[in-house]
Amino acid sequence: MTRVPLSDLNPEKDSLKTVMETPPPTTPRTEPTDADVEAFKQQLGRPPRGLRAIAHRCPCGQPDVVETAPRLPDGTPFPTLYYLTCPKANSAIGTLEANGVMKEMTERLASDPELAAAYRAAHEDYIRRRDEIEELKNFPSAGGMPDRVKCLHVLVAHSLAAGPGVNPLGDEALAMLPEWWRKGACVTTAEEDAQ
């Protein structure tokens, strides 16, 4: 796929029809319910591993970010604390990645010391939150932090879980997304199907 500068993204051509005016509201961290676990299974096509909490809920009501234990039940280190589960959001972020947004953000980190400092602070926040659960010595944060942008999904998940102002590039990527929930939830639970 041809990479284009972020400034050249064409919302009509690139399936980003309506860029978000305001991000989804911050939601409280909650314990997962049976319905949340079922939604997760439908979203990712597998049962959750190391699920600790629902870190953010989509405006449709379904989980869209989960908090995962730093170590999976089998002991395998899993440094991705916040995991984006919504397939609609994941698809929209995939479009950004395919259009070279990560490369452009990484280039900006090299030339903008203020942005680089804010991104390093986001990295430190991510590590601190993960280490409060269990320390993973010598493991990176996630998404390429603090020196590059490797995965917008992780950065957006961090922004949704932590709230605005914590991860500048996660906030920026989130603002580029369409309101993925507007056409309905990505999955329905058995309870919703019965209604």
Q: Could you tell me how far CA 182 lies from the centroid of its own chain?
A: 18
- Paired tokens of 11: 């919302």
Q: Beta 51-57 vs 82-84: how paired, if at all?
A: unpaired
Candidates 171, 5, 1; CA nearest to 103 is: 5
**Residue 41 contacts residue 85 (beta carbons within 8 Å):** no
Q: What per-residue confidence (pLDDT) applies to 194?
A: 52
What is d(CA 179, CA 172) in angstroms, rounded to the nearest whole number?
14
What is d(CA 192, CA 182) in angstroms, rounded to the nearest whole number?
17
Predicted TM-score (pTM) of the model is: 0.86
- pLDDT tens digits in sequence order for the chain, 195 residues long: 233 344 444 444 444 444 677 778 888 999 999 999 999 999 999 999 999 999 999 999 999 999 999 999 999 999 899 999 999 999 999 999 999 999 999 999 999 999 999 999 999 999 999 999 999 888 888 889 999 999 999 999 999 999 999 999 999 999 999 888 888 888 876 555 555
DSSP class of 134: -
Please, which residues bridge with residue 77 across strands?
71
Please, which residues bridge with residue 54 across strands?
30, 66
What is d(CA 135, CA 173) in angstroms, rounded to the nearest whole number?
28
Supply the angle between the helices 101-111 and 87-98 in degrees, to the nearest 10.
60
Q: Which helix (H) or strand (E) holds 6?
A: none
Q: Is 83 helix (H, G, I), strand (E, B) or coil?
A: strand
For the sheet containing 63-68, what is the strand order? Answer: 51-57, 63-68, 82-84
Candidates 82, 24, 22; CA nearest to 54 is: 82
Candidates 131, 116, 130, 132; CA nearest to 168 is: 116
Tally of residues, the chain: 195
